[in-house]
Amino acid sequence: MNKKIIITGAAGFIGFHTAVSYLKKGYLVLGIDNLNDSYDLYLKSERIKKLKKFDRFSFKKIDISNFKLLSNVFNSFCKQGLPDAVINLAAKTGVRKSTSEPYSYYVSNVIGCLNIVKLVNKFNINKLIHASTSSVYGNSKKKSFSVESETSKPVSNYAASKKSSEILLHAFHELYKMNIIILRFFTVYGPYGRPDMSPFIFIESNLRKKNINLFGTGNQKRDFTYIDDIVTGISKSVKLKGFNILNLGNNNPVRINKLLKNIETLSKIKNKIKKSQSLKEDVDYTSANINKTKKLISWEPITNFNEGITRTFNWHIDNREWLKKIKI
């Protein structure tokens, strides 16, 4: 019998790539997503179209904050054998919008997570892997953020909702001895990326010869992490037991100005940059300390920034026809 896995947020950037990797390993994958409109839905439909080419993939368009519907879906998927794990990647994403619409962030990221962990417990599923974020480190002044660093001072509702989900998962582990692995991702980029994040926006704006809205000086640094490394980290983390929090980050932060320069070099088109003031939800710097991740799951990123951004850029070139229609 095929091994099984449940992936929430399967129409999203990381969920899509994670689902592809499990499908290629022969798993039966149940993908769940509410197909929210936090960015252009055409991209989500392209991802789902690709996933549906695998006959071992099934998809349910439901909201994880709806316990009853979620419970029915778990029930029918778990009937003939339990999945190895639930990988909870569904979340309301994007730091900036979480200031103007906080409610939807807490509903998806806290209530949604609560529903997932309740069902993982109810159906006796062995593992829950949950996506958290480098945003929980707030405006940390540390050179690199270890999982023991301060995380109780978030500077956005997105970060606060993710930190809340981490805390509630800890309580479930203590109460029911569940195996729960929390992964804090650092600025993930790559093919099929997010049109609300800088690599996608900057590449597309450059190729469309449109203005690039740059918040701040461009000297901010991000620990950009390539999607394939994230997917490897997710699948390696499934072997862990107990309660663990791990960073998945490149451990080599890069200035936003370097990202812009690389894009110009690759496209041979000059960026049209329009600077505006940095936003209060944005942090200056992120950098992952991955010592614990190396030790527990022998994970290290293998894609350096120049290589990852070149691959991402080439994907934008190879998919020009439909990508130029995506709203940025």
Ligand X SMILES: NC(=O)c1ccc[n+]([C@@H]2O[C@H](COP(=O)([O-])OP(=O)(O)OC[C@H]3O[C@@H](n4cnc5c(N)ncnc54)[C@H](O)[C@@H]3O)[C@@H](O)[C@H]2O)c1
Smallest distance, Å, CB 64 to ligand X?
4
Which residue in the shown chain puts its C-beta closest to ligand X?
Answer: 12
Please report, as ranges, the residues that interact with ligand X according to CB under 6 A. Answer: 9, 11-15, 33-36, 38, 44, 63-65, 89-93, 108, 112, 131, 133, 185, 187-188, 194
The two counts, helices (H) then strands (E), for the chain are 13, 13
In this structure, is the dihedral angle defined by the CA atoms of residues 47, 48, 49 and 50, taken in order, positive or negative?
A: positive
Smallest distance, Å, CB 162 to ligand X?
6
Smallest distance, Å, CB 191 to ligand X?
13
Task: Return the SS3 of 95.
Answer: coil
For 39-81, what is the HEC assignment? CCHHHHHHHHHHHCCCCCEEEEECCCCCHHHHHHHHHHHHCCC
Cβ contacts of 125 within 8 Å, gap of 6 or more: 6, 78, 82, 83, 85, 86, 119
Strands 211-215, 188-189: pairing is unpaired
Cβ contacts of 173 within 8 Å, gap of 6 or more: 179, 180, 242, 243
Strands 221-222, 254-255: pairing is antiparallel
Smallest distance, Å, CB 270 to ligand X?
27
* Cα Rg of the chain, angstroms: 19
Nearer to ligand X, 184 or 270 (CB): 184
Q: Which residue in 277, 223, 282, 221 sits closest to 249, CA to CA? A: 223
Smallest distance, Å, CB 89 to ligand X?
4
Q: How many CB atoms lie within 10 A of CB 101?
A: 12
Beta strands in 127-279 (DSSP E): 127-133, 179-185, 188-189, 211-215, 221-222, 225-226, 243-248, 254-255, 272-276
Smallest distance, Å, CB 180 to ligand X?
15
Nearer to ligand X, 51 or 178 (CB): 51
In this structure, is the dihedral angle defined by the CA atoms of residues 160, 237, 35 and 194, taken in order, positive or negative?
A: positive
Smallest distance, Å, CB 40 to ligand X?
11
Q: Are 211 and 196 in contact (CB under 8 A)?
A: no
Give the CA dihedral 303, 33, 104, 134, nearest 10 degrees. -20
Q: Which of 22, 39, 106, 158 is catalytic?
A: 158
Task: Return the SS3 of 122.
Answer: helix
Q: Note if 158 is an active site residue.
A: yes
Nearer to ligand X, 9 or 83 (CB): 9
Q: Which residues are catalytic?
A: 158
